[in-house]
Structure formats: C-alpha cells, structure tokens
Amino acid sequence: MSKKIAIITATVLLFVVILFALSMKIAGTIFGNGDTHLLKSKTGVGLVEVKGMILDSKETIRQLRYFLKQDAVKAVVLRVDSPGGIVAPSQEIYAEVKKFAAKKKIIVSMGSIAASGGYYISAPSTMIYANPGTITASIGVILKLSNIESLIDKIGIKSHTLKTGKYKDSGSPLRQFSAEDRAMLQSVIDNTHQQFVRAVAEGRKLPIEDVRKIADGRILSGEQAKEYKLVDRLGTLQDAIEEAGRLAGISGEPELLLPPKKKVDYMDLLIEGAEGTFNGPLGRATGGMKMLYE
C-alpha cells in the first residue's frame, strides 16, 4: 500500500469515527440521558452504589452531590461492594462522604466485601452496616512491582534510559531494584498508610493507637469488625435503608430513590478508549506505577 493510499484510508476512518460520535451526541440530546427533575414529587432515601475496584471517583462524587442538592432526598445509603482500589480516588470519595455526612445522614451498607479502599470510603459515614460474613478492614497499602530485565536480555532488546535523578525510574521493570529504591518507595508507602490510619481514626472517632493495632492489612469478618468498632451494626441492605429513613425522620418504609443516569459523551468515550491503549497493556509494559488500597 502506497503512502498516499494509507493517508487517505486513515483520513476516511477518522471522518467516520467523528461522524459516529457526533451522531450519538445528537441522539443523546434529542432523546435525553437522564431526568434531573425526577425527584421533585418524591421523598425518600437515595442509593449510591460503589462496586468493584475503585479506579475513579467522578461518578460516585456526582451522585452524592446530586442527592445533596435534592430536598426530597432526606438521607442516602452508600452500598459498598469493593475490594479497594487506587489511593487518590479512594481519598476523594472519602472526602465527599465526609462533606455529605456533615449535612445529611449517609448510611453505609457493606455487601460481600468492603475492604481496604472499600473500607476507607465508608469510614466517615454516619453509620456502617455490614453482614456478619462481609469481608472488610484490610487497612493497608500495597505497591506491586515486576522486573523483566532478564527476559529483555534473552530476547536481545537493549533498553536505554535518560533521567534527571537517580530515583526518576525507581520501580522500572527494565532495571534492577536497588536498596535505595526500596527505602524511598517504602517511605512513601508508610506515609500513605499513616494517612489511611488517621482517616479511619477520624472517621470512626477512634483512638489512633487502637486503629494502628489492626492496621496491618488483616481482613475481618463483619462480626469481627463490629467488635473492633469498625462497624456499627450487623444487618442487610434493607436494614440500612430503613435505618436511613428513621434517622431522616421518614415515617414508615422509605422509598428508595435512584440517581439519574449519567449523560454519555461519546467523544469522551472514544478519547478514553484511545488512552486505554496506552495506559493499559502498553502502560504496564513500560512500568506504570499505581499505589493501591487493596
């Protein structure tokens, strides 16, 4: 294929992608992607769900802020079913839950697992419910690194790194992990761990030394967590909903209100897809580093 034909083909494909994105955006505008006025005639308890790995905070924060603005929503149940995730998004959700709890009641209902980052975001809530068998706690930080230097040598590929300081490529899979690297990264992990401990102590109103005693990464059942005062009550999602209604002064069984669906920006999806190509397998291959509450 000649260079000219390749350029024409690429241009046509780009035009088709842009045309598709614009068509979807127009369709979303015409048919709508969520009704922000849905709750005007209703009074009840809002439901926000956090499921799976915590990789981003935007959607959870959007839903919490939406419910905070709705006079009809008297309280919110935050359903957490997550093994944890990346540190910064977990901290952002924690901060938003704390702000929400200062203005309205927010009750956490833990599902099958609410550990590490999943527990972190639960800590500042008004009250925490867990099932007796919920897996929770796991107060700790982990940084996973790998080294493929020997494999690269066997394949016959040579790697060259230019850097501005000895720590700039610490954790790179393309060179040996030195004692200095280990000490530097360990200090970052220790500091982040202390942030976790302080957040739990503040959110749960516990002495920081009591939290430190169990902040060694151990998991606890819901029943055990209640003994350590990491959980307030044992109960189901329905129990949490009913408690939220009582705390909000709603008589009888409260109506459960869902947030409006997020408006879809198809151009953003295309951009995110392209970013995923570089931040996914390619990013991992080039030594992308993520610290996790996991």
So what's the architecture of 44-275+283-293 in CATH? Alpha-Beta Complex (3.90)
pLDDT over 70 at 26, yes or no: no
Distance CA 95, CA 189 (A): 20
Q: How far apart are CA 204 and CA 69, in angstroms?
A: 25
16 contact partners, CB below 8 Å, separation of at least 6: none
Residue 139 has pLDDT above 70, yes or no: yes
* pLDDT reported for residue 8: 64
Task: Dump pLDDT digits (tens) for 105-117.
Answer: 999 999 999 999 9
Residues 6+ apart with CB under 8 A from 19: none
Active-site annotation, residues: 116, 168
Confidence class for position 286, pLDDT limits 50, 70, 90? very low
Q: What is the pTM of this model?
A: 0.78
Count Cβ neighbours within 10 Å for each residue of 41-54 and write b for 16 or more, e otherwise: eeebbbbbbbeebb
pLDDT at residue 24 is higher than 70: no
Mean pLDDT, the chain, whole residue set:
84
Query: Which pair of tokens denotes residue 146?
Result: 């790998």
pLDDT in tens, 39-95: 555 789 999 999 999 999 999 999 999 999 999 999 999 999 999 999 999 999 999
Distance CA 258, CA 49 (A): 10
Beta strands in 125-207 (DSSP E): 127-130, 135-137, 142-143
At 167 the pLDDT is: 85
Please report, for the chain, the start and end positions of each structural domain, with discontinuous segments joined by +: 1-32, 44-275+283-293
Mean local confidence (pLDDT), 266-288: 47
Are 293 and 87 in contact, with CB atoms under 8 Å apart?
yes
